[in-house]
Structure 1
Amino acid sequence: MQLDLLIDRVAIKVLRVIGEKILEGKRLSVEDAIRLFYEADLSYVGALAEWVNRKKNGHFAYFVVNRQINPTNICIYQCNFCSFGVVKSDPRAYEMSLEEVLRKVEETYKMGGREVHIVGGIPPHWKVEHYVNLVKEIKRAFPDMVVKAWTAIEIHHMSKISGRSYEDILLELKSVGLDAIPGGGAEIFSERVRKIIAPYKANAEEYLQVHRTAHKLGIPTNATMLYGHLETYEERVEHMERLRSLQDETGGFQVFIPLAYWPEGTRIGGKRTSSVDDLKTIAISRLFLDNFDHIKAYWVTLGERVAQVALNMGADDLDGTIQEEKIVHSAGTTSAVGHTKERLIKLIRSAGKIPVERDTFYNPVAIYP
C-alpha cells in the first residue's frame, strides 16, 4: 500500500510539472503528451486545454455555412477501416454528374453558403482532368464560393496516374479555382497500423509532402487524425508530433481535426470510442499542438452533446452546416446528416460560448453574442 501511495505521489508530481509547463507557455514533449493520455484525469487536461484555448480564441466558437459533397463512393483503395468506398460493380455504387454537383452547390449558395467541401472515393476510371474540371465548373458558376477540395490522397493519386509532380497538379487546380485542401486521408501516420487499415493509399510522408507543397504554393490546408481503431496512445502522439513539426516549418495548417473511428460495416470492426476518450484526445491535441490556432470538435463523429462539451475542453470550432455527409454515416454515426445555421448557433450558445460564423480561413463573418 505504501508503495502504491508513493507511485501515486510521483505521478501527481510529474503531472503538476506538465501543468506548470503549459501555464508558462512552454512546449510539451512527446513524453509529456503520452503521460497525459495514460495518467491524467479528463478534468485536469480539459481545464488546462480550455485555459490554452481561451488565450487563443477567447469565448468564441466558430462554425461555417457550408456543404459537403461526396461525388462518388467508387474507390480503388478499399481501405479496411472504411465502409463508404465500394467497387464500381457494387449495387451501392454511385457517381454524381456535374449537373447534380452544381445543383447542390447552388442550393448552398442560395442559403448563404460560403464553402463547398468536396471529398469522396477515388474511382479507377477518373483522370486528372475530371478532378480539375469539377473545381473549374463550380468556380465558373459560383465565383464567390470557396472550393475546398481533394485530400492529399487524391492529389497523390492524380500525381501517380499522370506522372506529374504534386506541385504541377496543385498549380493546375489552383489556376482553376481551388482555394483550400481538406485534411482527410491522414488516418494515423504509424506505418504499423497503416499497413493494416489502409495498405494501398499514400503513406504518411507522401501525405505530409502534399501538404508541404500546398503550403509552399499558398494553399491553406487542414489536418486530421483518425483515432480509436488499432493505434496506441504513443502512435496518436507520434501523429500529432509530425503535424506539429510541419506546422513549425510552413505555418500552413488552419485547424486540427481529431476524427473518432466508427466501426459499423468496416473490415476491421471494433468498438466506438468512449466520450472520455474523445474529449481527452481533443484536450491533449490542444495542449500539444501549440502552433495550431484551431482545434475542431467535428459534431458528425462526436455527436452534438460531446461536441458541446469539447468546446469547453480545448476545441473552438464545430465545423459547419455540412448538409449531406455520407462517409461517416455509412459507418454508423447516428448524428444528423446536416444542420441549419440556427441549430449551430443554439448548440454553441448552450455550451456557454459566443457563436462566430466564419469563412473557410477563419475570418469572422458574423458574431452572435
Structure 2
Amino acid sequence: MTANPEIDSILQRGADGGRITPEEALLLYTDAPFHALGEAADAVRRRRHPEGIVTYLIDRNINYTNVCVTACKFCAFFRAPKHKQGWAHPIEEILHRAGEAVELGATQVMLQGGHHPDFGVAYYENLFSSVKQAFPQLAIHSIGPSEILHMAKVDGVSIEDAVIRIKAAGLDSIAGAGAEMLPERPRKAIAPLKESGARWLEVMAIAHRHGLSSTATMMMGTGETNFERIEHIRMIREVQDLAVANGYQDVPVEQSHDVGGFRAFIPWTYQPENNHLKGRTQATTIEYLRFIAVSRLFFDNFSHLQASWLTTGKEAGQLALHMGVDDLGSIMLEENVISSAGAKHRSNLQELITMIRTAGRIPAWRDTWYEHLAVHHTPADDPTDDRVVSHFSSIALPGGGVRKSLPLVEAN
C-alpha cells in the first residue's frame, strides 16, 4: 500500500495479472514508490514462474561484417562501405567461431552484422544453411527486422519472401536487434536512415505469422522522454496482442519450436563511448530498474523479462531479479557491438550462477526457447567449467580477430 489510492489500485491490478493502460504505466514509472513498484512486479514473476527459477544461456555473438550503410548515431561498431577498417568474414571463419562455441557448451549463436550494400537474401541463406549444416545442435537466433528489410531491398523481393527463405535456410529465431527506440521522434534523432518503428514491428508481425518467434528490446538513455519509453512498450504490446489472438504465442515448447510471437522483453542502456551521441544523455540505474518493473506489470502477454547486466552492471542485474526479472541473459563468449561503445562488464559461468543463487533464486541453464536444460537446485549441481567466460571482443584485434581462439579474456 502507498499513500496514493490510484497508484495502489493500478499496482494491485497489475500484480494480479490485469491489464494496465499506457497512461497508468507512465504514472507508475514516474510516481510509484520504488519498493511498492518492485514488489508488484515481483508478484507477477512469482505468479508466472512459481518455481523460483531464474534462467541463463550460453551463446556467442558472431559478427559477419562491420560494413553498414545505416550510420546510426549511437553505434560504435559500424564502418562505412570502403572504409579501410571495414571487413567481412568468410564463412570458414564464422564456422570456426561457431565450433568453439559448441565446445564450450553454447546452444545458440547470434549472427550479427551491418547493412552491407552487397548482402541480399542469398547471402543470408548461405550463412544460415552453412552454420546449420555444420552445427545442427545450434539455434540460430540472429539478425533483426532492419537486416530483413535491407536484404529484401538489395534483392528486390518482398519482406514475406525474404522471411520464408531465411527461415527455410535455418534461421530459428529473430533477435530484437534494431528496435532501439520505436517512437518516431527519438528514432529519427538517433537513427535517421533506419526504418520507422512501425515498419520494424510490421516485419516482426510477418515473421510471427510464418512461425518465427523473436525477442523484443529497447535501448534507454539517448534523450527520449518518459512518455516515449512507455510508448515504445505500448507499440510492442499491440503486436504481441496480435500474435496471441492468432494463436502464434504460448504454444508449449515441447509441442513445437515453430511458433511465432515475442518470447521475452530485454531493455538495455545506451553506452556512450566512440559514437556520435558522445554520452550527452544516459539512463540512471534507478530509471532502468523502475522501467524493468513497469515493463513486467505492463507486458501481461509476455512470458519472460530479461535483465541486461552487460550494460547496467552485475549489481543492477542482480537487483533486477527483485523487480520482476526471471532471466539474466547469457554468458556471451564473444560480443563486439555494445562493447565497442564502452560496455566493460564481464562475468563467467560460476559468477552468473552465484548472482542468481544469492538473490534467492534457483539457477537454470536454458536454451533459446526457455526450455530448461539443467536446473541447479543446490551448489552441488553447478557446472564447473572455468573456460566459459564472457566475453572476448574480437574487433579489438587486427582484421576482426580472424583465427583467434577463445577465451582471450578473464572475468573480473
TM interval, short-chain normalised: over 0.9
1:32–1:92 distance in 2 versus 1, CA, 3 Å? same
| Correspondence for 1:51 | 43
CA distance in 2, matches of 1:44, 1:228: 24
1:322 and 2:314 matched: no
Q: Which has the higher helix share?
A: 1
CA distance in 2, matches of 1:109, 1:353: 27
1:364 and 2:356 matched: no
Q: Deviations over 1:49-106 (max 9, x none)?
A: 1111111113111111111112222111001121211213434433222111111100
- SS class of match (1:71): strand
| Correspondence for 2:55 | 62
Aligned residue among 31, 38, 43 for 1:39 = 31
**% same residue:** 37
CA distance in 1, matches of 2:235, 2:183: 11
Report the number of matched residues. Answer: 358
**Unaligned runs of at least 5 residues, structure 2:** 244-248, 250-260, 378-412
1:167, distance to aligned residue in structure 2 (A)? 1.4
| Correspondence for 1:268 | 277
| Correspondence for 2:147 | 154
Please tell me the residue identity of whatever aligns with 2:4: I
TM-score norm. by structure 2 comes to: 0.84
CA distance in 2, matches of 1:24, 1:343: 33
| Correspondence for 2:164 | 171
- SS class of match (1:357): strand
Root-mean-square deviation (Å) = 1.5
1:355, distance to aligned residue in structure 2 (A)? 0.5
1:226, distance to aligned residue in structure 2 (A)? 1.1
1:277 and 2:270 matched: no
CA distance in 1, matches of 2:29, 2:16: 21
| Correspondence for 2:255 | none
1:122 and 2:130 matched: no
| Correspondence for 1:6 | none
**Unaligned runs of at least 5 residues, structure 1:** 1-8
CA distance in 1, matches of 2:105, 2:191: 37
| Correspondence for 1:79 | 72
1:225, distance to aligned residue in structure 2 (A)? 1.0
Q: Deviations over 1:172-207 (max 9, x none)?
A: 111111110100111111111111111111211211
| Correspondence for 1:25 | 17
CA distance in 1, matches of 2:58, 2:88: 25
CA distance in 2, matches of 1:274, 1:85: 26
1:248 and 2:258 matched: no
1:266, distance to aligned residue in structure 2 (A)? 1.9
- SS class of match (1:154): helix
Q: Deviations over 1:199-248 (max 9, x none)?
A: 11121121111111111111111101111112111111111011111111
TM-score norm. by structure 1 comes to: 0.93
Matches within 5 A, 1:87-236: 87-236=80-229
Instruction: After the TM superposition, list the runs of 4 or more consecutive aligned residues in structure 1 that deviate by more than 3 angstroms.
Output: 88-92
- SS class of match (2:18): coil
8 Å contact 2:216–2:264 — kept in the other structure?
A: yes
Please tell me the residue identity of whatever aligns with 2:366: R
